[in-house]
Amino acid sequence: MSTGLLLQYIVVALIVLASAWVVLKKQFPGTLRKARGAIALGLVKPARAGWVQALGRRIAPPVNGGGGACGGCDSCGPTPPKQHR
């Protein structure tokens, strides 16, 4: 295999991975958040090396700033019914 062909395969693989990442972020944000959290929890354990823990903190999904009582969706209670006019 020539060097040019190998480089071409690497570039195509990186483009495919980047596009898959964008699709995951846009179409499946909840699944991506759960997966990032599960991976981060495995890396942040105290028995791990410092650089592995730092990587886990970087991978971890951002914390939601919960302003409500439960820190959830901030829409406690049932939604009011739609009024037909």
The model's pTM is 0.56
Would you say residue 33 lies in a domain? yes
Would you say residue 52 lies in a domain? yes
- When divided into structural domains, the chain yields a total of 1
DSSP 8-25: HHHHHHHHHHHHHHHHHH
Residue-range definition of the domain harbouring residue 41:
28-61
pLDDT tens for the 85 residues of the chain, in order: 799 999 999 999 999 999 999 999 899 998 989 999 999 999 999 899 999 999 999 998 888 765 555 655 656 666 777 787 7
